[in-house]
Amino acid sequence: VYGSSVNSPIRHKCLSVISKLMYFSTSSMIQSLLTVTNIS
C-alpha cells in the first residue's frame, strides 16, 4: 500500500478501509477474513 506505484488518495482509502474493518469487526470475523484473504 505504501509503494510509489499507488497514489496518495488510493493509499488513504485502502488504509481507511483496513482501519474500519479492524475497529468494527469482532475477533472471529477478522480471523476468518485473514484466512481467506491474500494480503501482500
Mean pLDDT of all residues belonging to the chain: 82
State the angle between helix axes of 8-24 and 27-36 in degrees (0 to 180), rounded to the nearest 10: 130
**What is the reported pLDDT for 4?**
63
CB of 1 closer than 8 Å to CB of 15: yes
Listed residue (32, 3, 31, 29) closest to 15, CA to CA: 3
Cβ burial, residue 27 (10 Å; 0-12/13-18/19+): exposed
The verdict on pTM exceeding 0.85 is: no
Q: How do the domains of the chain map onto residue ranges?
A: 1-40
pLDDT digits (tens, 9 = 90+) for 1-17: 455 666 888 888 988 99
Asked if residue 20 has pLDDT above 70, the reply is: yes
Higher pLDDT, 23 or 39: 23
**What is the reported pLDDT for 36?**
87
**What is the reported pLDDT for 24?**
92
